[in-house]
Amino acid sequence: MRYYDFLDAKLVKKTPFKKVIKAKIKSNRPLSEEEIAREKQKYEIAKELGLDDKVRQLGWSGLTASETGRIGGIMTRRNKERRDDDMKSGNIPTW
């Protein structure tokens, strides 16, 4: 069972989160607080892995598949840990 199966159907977004963020950035629309937090986390992980210079110079498309996979894997693990902590404390996870 997925974590969002416990949530109200109105709270679950049908479009993948990263596609929403990408579309908003491309069209210069403001990001929500939750989207800003996700982007900030992505840049922090890239910095931890020593990829921040490469991202600044070449953009996210300049990374290899293994590099982006590592970033995505770390984000997924951290988000899962945070969701589990939120659910244990009785809070509804936001993303």
Residue ranges of domains in the chain = 15-88
CA distance 19 to 37: 15
What's the one-letter identity of residue 25?
Answer: I
Residue 2 has pLDDT above 70, yes or no: no
pLDDT at position 1 is: 47
* Residues 19-75 pLDDT 10s: 777 788 778 888 888 888 888 999 999 999 999 999 999 988 899 999 999 999 999
The Cα-based distances of 67 to 5, 9, 16, 72, 73 in angstroms read: 30, 34, 21, 9, 10
Residue 7 has pLDDT above 60, yes or no: no
Q: Which residue blocks in 27-64 are alpha helix, DSSP H?
A: 33-48, 52-58
Enter the pTM of the model. Answer: 0.69
pLDDT at position 10 is: 54
> What's the residue count for the chain?
95
